[in-house]
Amino acid sequence: MTPKINWSLTPINLGEVDYLQTYEAMQKFTAERTPETSDQLWLCEHPAVYTQGLAGRAEHIFNPGTIPVVQTNRGGQVTYHGPGQVVAYPLMDLKRAGYFIKEYVYRIEEAVIRTLLHFGVTGHRVAGAPGIYVRLDDPAGHAVLEQRPVKKDVIPDQAVVIPGLTRDPVPREHWIAGRACPGLRSGVRNDKPTGAAINAPHFEGLGKIAALGIKVSRNCTYHGLALNVAMELEPYSRINPCGYAGLQTVDLSTIGVHVGWAEAADILGQRLASQLEP
């Protein structure tokens, strides 16, 4: 393992910033970083914008109206960013951190789950659908989801498909995001189908409260996650969020948790810094 280099991840609060400018800044930071460059964690919120991942289809954005659409190189389909949402961008060297992409995704999701727990909400993972979800009828309940991820048919990390993520090189070798494709076994790269069908994720009784979309370039991460705090949710009705028709999107205020953006950002930043520590 590469020796650690005085690792720390102090969140940097950027406030409200333009999405495209932030995207370009992440690309520049990642392209110019060296093995000695310190990791960073940016926290911000964006003016209203739809962002489309590499796997995105135009038909999933059916009524953008005046909201701009930005094409990106992250994994995933379309999502929405807007005021009242905490967006976090961990810019990390995974080789130096000493863990693989699959674990990185798990750690990010765990940070969101622990942030929600701080506010009395139970977050859930759904098999085959990155991000964090809540029970609409019982946001604080701890009942286990039937559609939770389970550890079976474990295969090597290098063969795992993680929806919501891409890694270089982009063409056939990029890791595809979006819903599970019929004809693929769970966890197998989409350019090596096995013929074993899998079930698509189902979201009955659930609302998505946090979205995930990641890019890994030369073992370094950018893009990240978005936690809905107190938003105008109507723009989600104009798209198929993350490529899923009918997927309900919620925020903390919708489920009865009234917290300010700054407090939510502070707690999420703390949890991310803790969970991502090598």
Residues labelled as active-site residues: 242
Query: What are the counts of helices (DSSP H) followed by strands (DSSP E) for the chain?
Result: 4, 11
- Angle at Cα 124 formed by Cα 120 and Cα 125, nearest 5°? 155
Who contacts 221 (Cβ-Cβ below 8 Å, separation ≥6)? 90, 91, 92, 94, 104, 214, 215
- Alpha-carbon gap, residue 145 to 78, rounded angstroms: 25
Q: How far is CA 75 from CA 37, 115, 130, 230, in A?
A: 24, 23, 11, 25
Is-contact 140 122, C-beta < 8 A?
yes
One-character DSSP codes across 93-117: BHHHHT--HHHHHHHHHHHHHHHHH
Tokens at residue 178, please?
Answer: 């979006």
Burial of 4 (0-12, 13-18, 19+ CB in 10 A): exposed
Beta carbons of 217 and 235 less than 8 angstroms apart: no
Q: Which residues pair with 88 in a beta bridge?
A: 43, 225
- Whole-angstrom distance, CA of residue 199 vs CA of residue 188: 14
CA distance 265 to 58: 31
